Amino acid sequence: MKSAKTIGVLMGGLSAEREISLLSGDAVLAALAERGYETIPIDMSRDIAQRLSEVKVDLVFNALHGRYGEDGCIQGLLELLKLPYTGSGVLASALAMNKLKAKEIFRLHNLPTPPYYAVTPSQMDTLAELHGSFGFPAVVKPTSEGSSLGVSVADDLVGLRAACQRAFELDESALVERHIEGREVCIGIVNGRPLGALEIISHNEIFDYQAKYTAGHADYHIPARLSRDRYQGVLTQALRAHQALGCAGATRVDMMVSDLGNEYILEINTLPGLTPLSLLPRLAEHDGLSYADLIEEILAEARVRGAGSKKNLPSGQPGQRLADSS
């Protein structure tokens, strides 16, 4: 057996989700080591272009989350360097990270998403007019953040103003979305195959950052407690959303199933968390994939992208070891 190809694990980064990315990266490194791969941890910083040009890796496992790592920026750099990497490409990453643009794509593909509008700091003086008859409660989010950072629920105009100001601390615009009463579910997709749907019962008002990453702040039901037809329906809708944005590798699609029986797509995470508490590994385990199996499935779809390049790495079927054998 020849030595395995060397894998650089991108982690940390410059976003507000840095600490979560470090946890994801550590877990990925441990899984790759368990399977006998040679790895190099790469903590993303401002000198990442120089660092990537100096380290000797055959491909990059992207365990970054949030701005610069999940929004197409690092993907563009990796393409310039002709380094194969895991996950979605530049366009899909950018579209998914920008919740407003993602919703516009969903609507073009007749995919249901809660009613919404965008607001910027310059519009705060006319917020009451902008909100109009939209109604309350409303969910307010930074347009381009992950891990539910800066997300809050507003029950009146005063609360709406405060929620928008919190969102502006993280982004240049906020997304105001109709609050949907019902079950929150997430669907894991790996290499074009839905793994299943998980139902979230948050102990907080919403499934926020604290509930996501603090043990005991949420309960989970796998599979989600839906009828057989509705369960299949959310899997189908999630896969359609994944395809509409042109996603690749592993994604997590967050949805609401309303008390009236309607399904709504909230957003797509193109680099879902891979920590011990993260949802994608839970769904993979339910589907029969160990954590290390999941990491290899993701690794199997690492690709060289960019103009004139159609090369996929590693070769073979998803799940096949990235090692040359003689």
Catalytic residue (choose from 93, 144, 152, 269): 269
267 is catalytic: yes
Return d(Cα 252, Cα 283) in angstroms, integer: 10
The amino acid present at 112, given as its one-letter code, is P
Catalytic residue (choose from 13, 15, 17, 263): 17
Q: In what side-by-side order are the strands of the sheet with 218-221?
A: 218-221, 193-202, 182-190, 250-258, 263-269
Catalytic residue (choose from 25, 66, 89, 273): 273
17 is catalytic: yes
Return d(Cα 172, Cα 179) in angstroms, integer: 22
Catalytic residue (choose from 37, 213, 264, 291): 213
**Residues 6 or more apart whose Cβ sits within 8 Å of residue 6:** 37, 38, 39, 40, 56, 57, 58
The amino acid present at 307, given as its one-letter code, is A
Catalytic residue (choose from 88, 93, 98, 147): 147
DSSP annotation of 303 = B
Catalytic residue (choose from 177, 208, 254, 296): 254
Catalytic residue (choose from 18, 252, 303, 305): 252
269 is catalytic: yes
Return d(Cα 151, Cα 227) in angstroms, integer: 30
Question: Is the separation of the CB atoms in 200 and 184 below 8 Å?
Answer: yes
Catalytic residue (choose from 267, 296, 297, 301): 267
The residues assigned a catalytic role are 17, 147, 213, 252, 254, 267, 269, 273
